[in-house]
């Protein structure tokens, strides 16, 4: 259903970046190394890492833009803690915390959190004793869920839980659905009835994927949260909603134990999004009562236009040795992919290059009103910046691109000045994050810091989602093959 990432473009981008050996994917996945600590440590590094699952309601892309209830909730939470820090500690704009979204599979949410690859697992996780023993789950008051059976319309109806006896039910591995089916099996055993055959879905699949398999008749039964089932039943005509297997379950976000500052901040925020509040109701209705995100893909002409844009990133990324996904993230930051956009300084279109820069002999592609020339000019200018200013062997390929982004925004002379200041301050002049970016904020402004962080946020999400997309396709093929 996520029509943008069903395009061959994304696989082509990943294949291009792999062939170019641009960077180690592990550097992209989790910002190089695991990190721990409470809210004070998060504030010190300036990045809140938010683990999310890529789904059509939680975290997804709409014409390159990130949307989803977890995305919007996370931004609201950051607004809450940034405002709180400003009021409490007189923190400045330069010290605000920025988000980094890290898409993972459902099965990876809690392990990645505990391993220090994220600070919050932002999903509507049901509170269970097993999870509560491993992590802290902060639950907005009043937001409860029932888990219900969803069947294919031609499967035998389930009128009571005992009707599941002897049936095969596909559920997410490690989910509360699986736990509650195991409890049901204990009851069936007492009643001397055959147990439910609990089939754990591949780690790459989400509940939405299993619902589509039920809709196609590949699977007869699954378990789903009631609000998700009711949403998808509006667009999947082959499914039928049955009885609940559990009710009154609390939902929330997970954090590592022994994080009292973050826990307190989330508890405060949960009051703003609990059931019945304006913000909580608006976001919940937007993604779980409105089917626009899952039932109304772009028309064919708009889709062809978008794919044409993406194909150009592949073409010129390949020519100049840039990951096409990195170019796409940069273009989204610059113009939201809008070729008609003009800045107050006269920068044009998708990658927002000034005509004077495009006419410079180092670029020499003047017709940037044309979409292809515009992307060509922007990519060639990035290539010039990298090769002229940041091609030292001491600078990793990842940092070469980060510095080039910063120079694209603030000018190469300014970034060179920030690198020199970093060296004088005992920081690493060859590393952007946590080093040169600090000097850029002091010597230039916070703008190049925000610019690079925002592009990196989109690039990380684009890349991880595409990697998961390929693994998910393999998982679905495996189910269909069975």
What residues act catalytically? Answer: 334
CA-CA distances (angstroms) from residue 287 to 57, 62, 178, 290, 480?
6, 13, 25, 6, 29
Q: At what angle do helices 397-410 and 412-424 cross, to 10 degrees?
A: 120
CA-CA distances (angstroms) from residue 329 to 55, 84, 271?
19, 30, 34
- CB-CB contact of 162 with 285 (8 Å): no
Phi and psi torsions of 197, nearest 5°: -85, 105
The separation between CA 437 and the C-alpha centre of its own chain, rounded to angstroms, equals: 23
- The partner residues of 137 in beta bridges, in order of sequence, read 254
How many CA atoms does the CB half-sphere of 107 hold within 13 Å?
14
End-to-end CA distance of the chain: give it in Å, rounded.
22
d(CA 60, CA 461): 9
Q: At what angle do helices 278-288 and 69-89 cross, to 10 degrees?
A: 160
> Which tokens go with 230?
């009711």
- CB-CB contact of 150 with 221 (8 Å): yes
d(CA 86, CA 4): 38
d(CA 68, CA 77): 14
- CB-CB contact of 139 with 251 (8 Å): yes
- CB-CB contact of 224 with 170 (8 Å): no
């Amino acid at each position: 259903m996520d029509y943008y990432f069903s395009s061959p473009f994304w696989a082509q981008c990943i294949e291009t970046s792999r062939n170019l050996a641009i960077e180690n994917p592990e550097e992209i996945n989790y910002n190089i190394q695991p990190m721990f600590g409470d809210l004070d440590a998060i504030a010190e590094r300036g990045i809140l890492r938010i683990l999310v699952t890529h789904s059509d309601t939680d975290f997804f892309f709409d014409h390159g833009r990130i949307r989803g209830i977890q995305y919007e909730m996370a931004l609201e939470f950051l607004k809450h803690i940034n405002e709180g820090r400003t009021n409490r500690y007189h923190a400045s704009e330069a010290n605000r915390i920025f988000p980094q979204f890290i898409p993972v599979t459902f099965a990876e949410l809690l392990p990645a959190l505990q391993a220090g690859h994220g600070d919050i697992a932002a999903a509507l996780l049901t509170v269970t004793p097993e999870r509560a023993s491993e992590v802290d789950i902060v639950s907005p008051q009043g937001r409860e869920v029932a888990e219900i059976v969803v069947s294919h319309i031609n499967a035998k109806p389930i009128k009571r839980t005992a009707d599941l006896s002897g049936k095969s039910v596909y559920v997410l591995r490690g989910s509360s659905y699986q736990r509650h089916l195991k409890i049901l099996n204990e009851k069936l055993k007492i009643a001397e009835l055959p147990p439910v055959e609990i089939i754990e879905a591949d780690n790459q699949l989400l509940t939405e994927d299993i619902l589509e398999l039920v809709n196609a008749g590949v699977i007869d039964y699954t378990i789903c949260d009631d609000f998700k089932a009711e949403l998808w039943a509006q667009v999947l005509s082959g499914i039928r909603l049955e009885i609940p297997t559990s009710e009154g379950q609390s939902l929330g976000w997970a954090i590592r134990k022994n994080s009292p500052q973050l826990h307190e901040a989330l508890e405060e925020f949960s009051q703003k999004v609990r059931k019945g509040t304006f913000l909580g109701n608006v976001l919940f209705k937007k993604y779980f009562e409105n089917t626009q995100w899952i039932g109304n893909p772009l028309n064919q002409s708009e889709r062809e236009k978008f794919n044409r844009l993406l194909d150009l990133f592949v073409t010129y990324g390949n020519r100049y040795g840039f990951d096409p996904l990195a170019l796409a993230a940069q273009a989204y930051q610059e113009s939201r992919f809008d070729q008609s956009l003009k800045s107050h300084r006269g920068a044009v279109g998708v990658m927002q290059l000034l005509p004077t820069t495009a006419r410079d002999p180092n670029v020499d592609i003047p017709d940037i009103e044309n979409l292809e020339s515009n992307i060509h000019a922007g990519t060639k200018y990035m290539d010039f910046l990298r090769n002229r200013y940041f091609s030292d062997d001491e600078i990793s390929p990842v940092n070469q691109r980060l510095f080039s982004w910063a120079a694209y925004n603030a000018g190469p002379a300014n970034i060179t000045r920030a690198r020199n200041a970093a060296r004088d301050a005992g920081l690493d002049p060859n590393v952007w994050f946590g080093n040169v970016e600090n000097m850029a904020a002091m010597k230039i402004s916070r703008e190049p810091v925000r610019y690079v962080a925002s592009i990196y946020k989109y690039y990380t999400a684009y890349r991880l989602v595409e990697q998961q997309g390929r693994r998910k396709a393999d998982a679905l093929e495996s189910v269909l093959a069975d």
